[in-house]
A and B are shown apart, each in its own frame.
Chain A
Amino acid sequence: MAIRTEPFILNMGPQHPSTHGVLRLRVTLDGEVVTDVELVMGYLHRGIEKLGENRTYAQIIPLTDRLDYVASMTNNFAYVLAVEKLAGIEVPERAEYLRIIMAEMMRIANHLMAVGFFLNDLGAMMTPVLYMWREREKLLDLFEMVCGQRLTYNYMRIGGVSHDIPEEFLPALKRFVAEMPGFIDEYDRLLSQNEVLLARTKGVGILPKDTAINTAASGPVLRASDVKWDIRRADPYSIYDRFDFEIPVGTVGDCYDRYWVRMQEMRQSVRILEQAIAQLPEGEACAKVPQLLRPPVGEVYGHIEAPKGELGFHLVSDNSIAPYRFHIRAPTLINMTALKDMAIGWKVADLIIILGSIDVCLGEIDR
Chain B
Amino acid sequence: MKFERYGIGIAKGMAVTFKHLFRAPITVQYPEEKLIVSRRIRGNELVWYPDKCTGCATCAKSCPQGNIEIATHVGDKNNYVVDKFEVDTGRCMFCGLCVEACPFDALAMGISYERAQHRRKQLVLSKEELQLSDVRQPSGYARPRIEASLPKQSLLIYWDKEEGGQKLSWLGLSKKRGRGV
Residues of A within 8 A of B (CB): 55, 58-63, 65, 127, 134, 137-138, 141-142, 144-149, 152, 154, 162-163, 166, 168, 172, 175-176, 186, 189-199, 202-203, 291
Contacts and interface: CB of A to CB of B under 8 A. Distances in A.
Interface in B137-154: 139, 141-142, 147, 152-153
Interface of B: 1, 3, 6-10, 12-13, 15-17, 26, 37-42, 62-64, 93-97, 100-101, 109, 139, 141-142, 147, 152-153, 155-158
Contacts, number: 107
Nearest to A179: B157
Contacts of B3: 195, 198
B39 A166 contact: yes
A144 B153 contact: yes
Pick from A60, A142, A202 the residue with the most CB of B within 10 Å.
Answer: A142
B62 A59 contact: yes
A145 B9 contact: no
A144 B38 contact: yes
A123 to B, nearest CB: 14
22 contacts: A59-B62, A59-B64, A62-B95, A138-B155, A138-B157, A141-B156, A142-B157, A144-B153, A148-B42, A148-B139, A149-B41, A152-B95, A154-B97, A166-B147, A176-B157, A189-B13, A190-B17, A193-B8, A193-B9, A195-B10, A198-B1, A291-B101
Contacts of B39: 145, 166
Contacts of A61: 95
A194 B10 contact: yes
Nearest to B3: A195
Nearest to A124: B13
A175 to B, nearest CB: 6
B125 to A, nearest CB: 19
B13 A190 contact: yes
Nearest to B37: A144
Nearest to A185: B16
A141 B95 contact: no
Contacts of B152: 168
What 3 pairs between A and B have smallest CB-CB spacing?
A193-B9, A62-B95, A148-B40
B1 A193 contact: no
B15 A202 contact: no
A141 B3 CA distance: 41
Given A148-B41, A148-B139, A154-B96, A55 B64 contact: yes
Contact of B12 (A62, A166, A189, A198): A189
Contacts of B41: 144, 148-149
Contact of B1 (A127, A137, A186, A199): A199
A339 B146 CA distance: 51
B51 to A, nearest CB: 25
B14 to A, nearest CB: 9
A163 B37 CA distance: 17
A141 B93 CA distance: 20
Given A59-B64, A141-B153, A145-B153, A127 B17 contact: yes
Pick from A142, A149, A197, A198 the residue with the most CB of B within 10 Å.
Answer: A149
